[in-house]
Amino acid sequence: MKTKNIKGQYSVLEYVFLSLFIIAIIIGLMFFLTIWSSIQFGAESMKTEWDRALWLGQYVQNIPLLVKETGMFDDGKLTALASMGPSKACEYLESLAGPDFFMELRILDGNETQINCTWQNYPDCNYWEFCKNTGKKKKKFYTLPVNVYRRIGFKLQETTTGRTDIGILKAGVY
Amino acid sequence: MNAEKNHEKAQASIIMIVLVLIIFAGLALFLLSFAKTMSQEDYMSTYVNSLLLSIMRTDTGYLDSDCRLVSDAISCSFFSTGLVCRDSEITCDSLAYRKVEEYINRTIKKGFRYFFSVTPEGFVARSSSGEPIKFEIGDSKLKSEKTEKWSANQRIMKATATGQYSLKVQLVIAVKK
């Protein structure tokens, strides 16, 4: 009799544990789906930021304020904008490209030294940067090869003539 | 005998629990594999097209109109083979080779290999010795290799007294093995 009672209790316990286990699985599944949704949302948000960074890299190559033609920046225009001062220049660009945007442009002239362009050293310089805020958090950017039209490219005996160099554009978002 | 039956039941329960856990983990992995990350395709396509266009539009350093831009020097290699650039001792085909190689090596991302080729379309350009002109720089295996690669194409058109001709310029890049 006692043995039968114990056996009965074990059977009931077995079903109780099984039910608890199934409930635990269901709760686990619910948690997992919630976490997965937030991962998906985060991934979509990151993808949107990367897409914006790529769009900016293509967009700045068409802004008349900076370029001579698509994909060809004008060094005179870049220097003029840079000479407005970092915050004014950034404000101007952000009004076109949106907030949290930055760009750098470096001419690959074989010179290892990076020389920031100002009116004082123009045209003997090879680098421009806009909205570069080193204090901000991680940035997402793309690099693209571009051309830079140097207005004073070739210095001839009595005159100067333009020259097209190759450079790297780094444009992105914070 | 009853003890044995209980053991079997317990073992069956454990196996069932393990199976459910495996299915659960498998489901989690399956769903996670669909979590979207950044797509590189759009970027790489833009990158290779920008690289090719930028190289072709860059000045070579010579002011002669046949040698001024990289695209001029390439065109000269096919239509005026052996022409020496003004105020220099370099021929336009040597200049084209040198400048294309120099600019690609200076600009291309680290860890990438490339293959640059120029092909006449609808005609055969021959050198002074009668050999068909071949303009290829870089890893030629990339042309036929079945690997993930990105390519860009441009055309150089030339109108002459005998008609209009075009050269197909192609740049293919891939990650180094």
Q: Give the separation between CA B117 and CA B107, rounded to whole angstroms.
A: 17
Whether residues B107 and A32 touch (CB distance < 8 A) is answered with no
Complex ipTM? 0.79
Coil, helix or strand for A44? helix
Whether residues B46 and A39 touch (CB distance < 8 A) is answered with no
Q: Which of A70, A164, A168 to mutate to test the interface with B (most CBs of B within 10 A)?
A: A164
What letter would DSSP give residue B161?
T
Task: Calculate mean pLDDT across residues A71-87.
Answer: 94
For the sheet containing A140-155, what is the strand order?
A67-69, A72-74, A140-155, A160-173, A101-107, A127-130
B63 class by beta-carbon count within 10 Å (0-12 exposed, 13-18 middle, 19+ buried): middle
Instruction: Using the structure block, give the residue that is written with the tokens 């669909």.
Output: B34
Q: How far is B176 from chain A (nearest CA, A)?
A: 19
Look up residue B86 and give its two tokens: 């003004």
Confidence (pLDDT) at B39: 62
Q: Provide the sign of the torsion angle of the four alpha carbons A56, A62, A66, A68, taken in this order.
A: positive
Task: Calculate mean pLDDT across residues A144-157.
Answer: 89
Whether residues A164 and B57 touch (CB distance < 8 A) is answered with yes
Bridge partners (DSSP) of residue B117 are B136, B170
Confidence (pLDDT) at A93: 92
Q: Tell me chain A's radius of gyration from C-alpha atoms.
A: 30
Instruction: Decide which of A170 and B35 is more confident.
Output: A170
- Among chain A residues, the shortest Cα distance to B45 is held by A144
User: How many angstroms separate the Cα of A77 from the Cα of each of A69, B27, B59, B94?
Assistant: 12, 56, 20, 34
Q: How far is B91 from chain A (nearest CA, A)?
A: 21
- Among chain A residues, the shortest Cα distance to B39 is held by A47
Q: pLDDT per residue over A17-31, tens digit each? A: 888 888 888 888 888
Of B17, B42, B107, the CB nearest to A145: B107
Q: Does A38 touch chain B (CB under 8 A)?
A: no
pTM, to two decimals? 0.80
| Reported confidence tier of residue B35, pLDDT bands at 50, 70, 90 | low
Whether residues B107 and A108 touch (CB distance < 8 A) is answered with yes
CA angle, A100 then A169 then B41, to 5° = 85
- Among chain B residues, the shortest Cα distance to A4 is held by B2
Greatest mean pLDDT among A4-8, A47-51, A137-141, B8-12 lies in: A47-51
Whether residues B42 and A54 touch (CB distance < 8 A) is answered with yes
Q: How far is A121 from chain B (nearest CA, A)?
A: 22
Whether residues B46 and A161 touch (CB distance < 8 A) is answered with no
- Does position B37 have pLDDT exceeding 50, yes or no? no
CB atoms within 10 A of CB A72: 19
| DSSP letters spanning A101-121 | EEEEEEE-SS-SS--B--TTT
Q: pLDDT per residue over B86-135, tens digit each? A: 888 899 999 999 999 999 999 999 999 999 999 999 888 888 888 889 89
Q: pLDDT per residue over B88-98, tens digit each? A: 889 999 999 99
The residues spanned by each domain of chain B are: 1-35, 41-175
Q: Give the separation between CA B17 and CA A21, rounded to whole angstroms.
A: 8
CB atoms within 10 A of CB A69: 13
Q: How far is B3 from chain A (nearest CA, A)?
A: 11
Residues of B in contact with A112 (CB under 8 A): none
Least confident of A145-159, B18-32, B62-76: B18-32
Confidence (pLDDT) at B87: 81
The residues spanned by each domain of chain A are: 52-173
Task: Calculate mean pLDDT across residues A116-135.
Answer: 88
What letter would DSSP give residue B83?
P
